[in-house]
Amino acid sequence: MVDGERRFPCFIRVGVFKNQNSVEPVPNAEVTVLTREINNTNGYEFYGYGNKYVGFTKTLTGDDGMACAPTFCFYEALIFVSNGGERLTFASNRTEFLPKDYFYIAQTRNEEVAFGPRYMGTMFGKRGPVYREMNKDECEKSTTTNSWYFRFVYLSVPERIYPVENRTHQPLSWYKYPSKSPNFAVCFLKVTINTNQNNIVLNATSYDSKSNQPYGYSISGPKADPDSADTSVRAACIEYRCSTSDPVRVDVRINPSICTYSSSKRELRVTHTDTSFQVLIKQGDLYGPANGIYVANGVDSARTLAKNWCIAGSSYYGTSFHANPSKQPLITYNCEVFPPDVG
């Protein structure tokens, strides 16, 4: 009994892997489950909109990339996975890991899953993804082939930023203003890449165009629409150092791949080869989604907002977020990975 109510502990089976098609596990990823009351409005149950939190748990994946995350049955569970500070994506376009017509709601760029945990026994010859407290041992011993589970993956290489200066108000600060300032700004540019490869890396270095000194660099990779079965059209949203009084030059390299330049926005000063490009961005120029540039400022959530705009290809996507890799990029490439060395 908790707060005068009877609770029924149970466990959710979650698996974390390197990419959508990979069986290579991600150990030590953090699986968080927020437990909250189900929103019962007019006798109907609404998942994804629970309005009273009961608690949360954090569980690390094992060497096999799997975790049994505790929660309460007959409540609502909101699951998300992070590793190294980056959220992973729920593989909603892969139907073989959950029973047919299993009900859940994917939200927040498919990084979160809300559903009502219920122990259902065996479905279509497999157990899971929910286990009762007495069946915890079975949950922990189950495999990817004999059980149902929620699958989270990297859509590309992990994203990282490596600033020269972490402090604000310095000549080479990555962010000139602190996040609480109304002048705080975060900037992304979008690169569409047509490819079926999962290990393509974009390395983008931001420079003060006058002194030629670097502000730092960021690493990103092209991601497909997680809701689409077509994974050949992908986009990388690359964070760069926003321009202030001096223009910022962004140099981007694409590795390890054989690419062919396709197109870019004529309005911007873009020079390119088949494996790299350079763009000069000035403060005050009328950049925006039409030019593949996405900027948000003045709020704590500016980075999330700018990145969402970049992923969607629009500064307005209403209440329903949808990734669109081919919409409004700065530049487009067709890429394949270098063939392996022989001999």
Measured CA to CA, the distance from residue 321 to residue 311 in angstroms comes to 9
**Cα distance from N-terminal residue to C-terminal residue, the chain:** 67
What tens-digit pLDDT sequence spans the chain (343 residues)? 445 456 789 999 999 998 777 678 999 999 999 998 876 654 445 555 556 788 899 999 999 999 999 999 988 899 999 987 788 889 876 678 998 888 898 887 788 899 989 888 888 889 999 999 999 999 999 988 899 999 998 877 778 899 999 999 999 999 999 988 888 999 999 999 998 887 789 999 999 999 999 999 999 989 888 777 788 899 999 999 999 888 999 999 998 778 888 888 777 888 999 889 999 998 766 678 888 999 988 776 888 889 889 988 987 655 556 789 999 999 999 987 655 554 4
Measured CA to CA, the distance from residue 194 to residue 257 in angstroms comes to 12
Delimit the domains of the chain by residue range: 8-153, 160-337
Report, at the CATH architecture level, how domain 8-153 is classified. Answer: Sandwich (2.60)
C-alpha R_g of the chain:
22
Sign of CA dihedral 131, 133, 135, 137: positive
pLDDT of residue 279: 93
Measured CA to CA, the distance from residue 162 to residue 104 in angstroms comes to 37
